[in-house]
Structure 1
Amino acid sequence: MKKAVCIISGGMDSAVVAYIAKNKGYEIIGLHFNYGQRTEKKELECFEKISKALNAKIYVVELPFFSQIGASALIDKNIAVPTDGLKPGVPITYVPFRNGIFLSIAAAVAEKEAAEAIYIGVVEEDSSGYPDCREEFIKSMERSINLGIKEETKIKLKTPLVHLRKEDIVSKAIELGVPLEFTWSCYQAEDEACGVCDSCRLRLKGFKKAGIKDKIPYKISN
């Protein structure tokens, strides 16, 4: 069976992407990163639930150096997570070159596992303005990865959500039977989603526009 490495954060987008890959006949290899993020424990729990539902082989990679770098509200607890809505520019929740590092490690796993594709849930049109979520960046990484691996190996980077809106992603999740109650999007809380960080706002907006109730608990959900 053909194989795909799916980077699964435990969030909604990456879960949907993994289910898309499964629906296309791939054997799923779930790849997750613990990098000192505020919701690390919750994200890992969600990753494990999603991977089990997909019957996926899993890799969990520790990346403690991100804590040394800091420079992001997702990692440095001295930097407050913004809760007043999206603003122009790259937000303080951006983790420097995170997806580039994730994709590089995913490429190593894919080559080892003889996988032909890497799936990642980047969203360009309705994201938080992260530069490493742009389609142009992903295409560049695909070229670089294939230049740096064995000549007989070819890996495709798949981004099926890159041009979708959050409401479209929610609808796609329902269509594929993704257990969205196993996913987590909040940037700062692990027991009850805050409802006011950028990620919670985008998720809640998506569910509302899709006309579907989100089953995870929120402190604020209006």
Structure 2
Amino acid sequence: MGNKKPVVIGIAGGSGSGKTTVTKAIYEYFKGHSILLLEQDYYYKDQSHLPFEERLQTNYDHPLAFDNDLLIEHLQSLVEYESINKPVYDYTLHTRSQDVIPQEAKDVIILEGILVLEDERLRDLMDIKLYVDTDADLRIIRRMLRDIKERGRTLESVVDQYVTVVRPMHNQFIEPTKRYADIIIPEGGQNHVAIDLMVTKIQTILEQNAIL
């Protein structure tokens, strides 16, 4: 292999920030190439040892909800060009599913999630760290529309969850990780200039890593 090494891009940002749109835009651009997407959401902790009532109390916006040890182990394997078995999370049972998704190693790895920049060990594996920074009012509007339309939630329950969990967790844990970002993209997926810059930067690194 020589010095060939995949490019690892971390994309963080609050819920509804547009980080998924940015991720998709970059992914689409390199679709013909060797690229994979690793979502932090797949790496919520296994809670099968807890009674169901306790699992219902899970705070999915807290750093401790994630099994970062497994995520780091998997990311290190992918960087070494070894395949992994990605875990699957079952949101109806609020624990890890028995299923796994086999994932082959690729030349470009996008790691996306609200807290991917929070763990220093994860940051150390990244070549580019992105934070998608979108105003709170837009984030809550997007979250409302999504949760009501796609998840059958009531307006009251979305607002209640936002005020009691999402907002305080964002301010305490997600927002502060902005300082670790190499690039802060305002207004997510609509920011075509920022996405173009990212794509160019990724190509440069790929060339340096003797991949392209």
Whether TM exceeds 0.5 here: the answer is: no
Greater RCO, CA 8 A, separation 6+: 2
> Which structure's residues are more often strand, by fraction?
2
> Which structure's residues are more often helix, by fraction?
2
Give the structure with higher Rg (CA).
2
Give TM class, smaller chain: 0.3 to 0.5
